[in-house]
Amino acid sequence: MLNDYFEYDIAEHFLNVIVNNDYSGLENDDEANLKKFLDSVYSNHAVINSAWDWDNGDSDYTRCEVCDLYANCVRVKLRYHNKDLLNPPLNGDEEHLLY
């Protein structure tokens, strides 16, 4: 089970890329912005076994966190396991940990 998540407002036209890794419909600037955003998300957080999730049909006209422009955006969640939770340091007090 993925136990934590981060939330981001992402323009709808980026969802196909996130789900299917299909960059074919993006302009060069959008592709560069998305790659930079994803690199930042994964490098700034110690996440493994991640999955993107959102509610279908829920969109708002707001600022996209990928391109920093206003668009119809979906609030997406990046669900993940924290590496530190899966591999906690052993300090003799492990009985309180839940796996």
For residue 41, what pLDDT is reported?
84
| Tens-digit pLDDT profile for residues 47-70 | 666 788 888 778 899 999 999 999
The single residue listed with the structure tokens 């999730």 is 53
86 pLDDT exceeds 80?
no
pLDDT at 4: 78
Q: Looking at residue 13, what is its pLDDT?
A: 92
- 97, pLDDT greater than 60: no
Asked if the model's pLDDT at residue 87 lies above 60, the reply is no
DSSP 21-67: ---TTS-HHHHHHHHHHHHHHHHHS-EEEEEEE--TT--EEEE-TTT
Residue 18 tokens read as 């996130």
**Predicted local distance difference test score (pLDDT) of residue 49:** 67
What is the model's pTM?
Answer: 0.73
